[in-house]
Amino acid sequence: GAEKSCSNGGLATIELIDKDDSKGISVGDSLNMSYRDCYIQALDSTVNGEGSLTLSEYQQGTKVKGSIDISNLQVNGDDNFNLVGQMLFENNISPLQRQLNIQSKSTVKLIVNSNSALSFTNLSLTRMENFSDATYAISGKGQISVAQFNNGFGFEFTKPLKGHFNEFPHEGSIVA
* pLDDT by position in tens, the chain (length 176): 899 999 898 999 999 999 999 988 999 999 999 999 999 887 788 999 999 999 999 999 999 999 999 999 999 888 889 989 999 999 999 999 999 999 998 899 999 888 878 899 999 999 999 999 999 999 999 999 987 777 889 999 999 999 999 899 999 999 98
Q: Give residue 49's pLDDT.
A: 94
Nearest to 93 by CA among 125, 133, 45, 60: 60
Report the phi/psi class of residue 93: left, alpha or beta, with left for phi > 0 and alpha for psi in -120 to 50.
beta
Q: Give residue 172's pLDDT.
A: 95
Instruction: Evaluate the CA torsion angle 100, 113, 118, 68 in order and state its sign.
Output: positive
Q: Give residue 175's pLDDT.
A: 93
Q: What 3-state DSSP class applies to 176? A: coil
Q: Give residue 53's pLDDT.
A: 94
Cα–Cα dist 26/19, whole Å: 9
Q: What 3-state DSSP class applies to 131? A: coil
Give the global pTM: 0.82
